Structure 1
Amino acid sequence: MRYPIAIEPGNDTTAWGVVVPDLPGCFSAGDTLEEALIQAEDAITGWIEAAIDDGQDIPAPSHIEALRAARPEFEGWLWALVKVDPAMLDDTLERVNISLPRRVLHRLDARARSAGETRSGFIARMAVEGREAAPA
């Protein structure tokens, strides 16, 4: 899947601005065109992950020509497509095998129990919340 982005050209004194019209409030910038494209990919990924975590629907990407016709505020801007890995939209459970030292596994299980969660649920929540578990 590819999301169209509108790119406001920058110069020596202003950054290249990027807006993702299909994802409300999703924007980024970079000092160079290349940096702006990389930042746009990060912004889109972050926007989609936050929306999924909040239980929101993810809008389908539009066609660039449709956006160009409907969004006159982007006249004179460049357009590009940013590829999004469809796997990041997939909430299908997948069994994984990890190796941990026993002492680490013991601490992990203790923290999960104290939080009233399973090991898998605890690990998933820590990953989604994007923070480290509090020290035991």
Structure 2
Amino acid sequence: MKYPIAIEPGNDTSAWGVVVPDLPGCFSAADNGIDEAIENAKEAISLWIEDAIAHKEAIPRPSSITDLQQSGEYDGWIWAIAEVDPALIDDTIERVNITLPRRILALLDQRAKSAGETRSGYIAQMTLTR
């Protein structure tokens, strides 16, 4: 997924500001230029999407830069694209094969059972809450 981002240029005394217009409240900043601003925006977008999924909120589709520029809200800002992995919003079930020592697997199964989860459910829950 490719989200347009608006970047407010920084200088020696202020950071580069970044806004993701399609994702309300999603913003970031960078001290070391446009490349860092784009990378930080990718992280902010990923976290925003993760939070939206956790709260069962809709994830807006990316707009075109042309449409966003017409609003005039970010005149003088630099436009760029922050690309994030579409797997972030893909809930397709996928079977995986992992290798663990038996003692770790036994501990994992014990903790999953205590939590009232399956092994897979427990691993997924740990991933989402850490």
Which residue number in structure 2 is paired with residue 21 of structure 1?
21
1:112 corresponds to 2:112: yes
Tell me, yes or no, if the aligned pair for 2:39 and 2:82 is still in contact at 8 Å: no
Q: Moved runs in structure 1, 4+ residues, more than 2 A?
A: none
Q: TM-score, normalised by structure 1?
A: 0.91
Q: Secondary structure at the match of 1:73?
A: coil
The equivalent of 1:9 in structure 2 is 9
Corresponding position of 2:41: 40
Task: Give the AA of the match of 1:84.
Answer: V
Name 2:102's counterpart in structure 1.
Answer: 102
Equivalent residue, structure 2, for 1:133: none
Query: Aligned residues, how many?
Result: 129
Q: Secondary structure at the match of 2:81?
A: strand
Structure 1 residue 73, shift from structure 2 partner: 2.7
Q: Over residues 16-71 of structure 1, what are the superposed CA-to-partner deviations in whole Å (9 max), with x where a residue is unaligned?
A: 0000000000000001221111100100111111111221111000011111112x
Percent of paired sites with the same residue: 63
TM-score in terms of structure 2 length: 0.95
What is the aligned partner in structure 1 of residue 77 from structure 2?
A: 77
Q: Give the counterpart letter for 1:86 in structure 2.
A: P
RMSD: 0.9
2:121 corresponds to = 121
Q: Which residue identity lines up with residue 87 of structure 1 in the other structure? A: A
Aligned amino acid, residue 21 of structure 2:
P
The alpha carbon displacement at 1:128 in A equals 0.7
Kindly provide the amino acid, as one letter, of the partner of residue 94 in structure 1: E
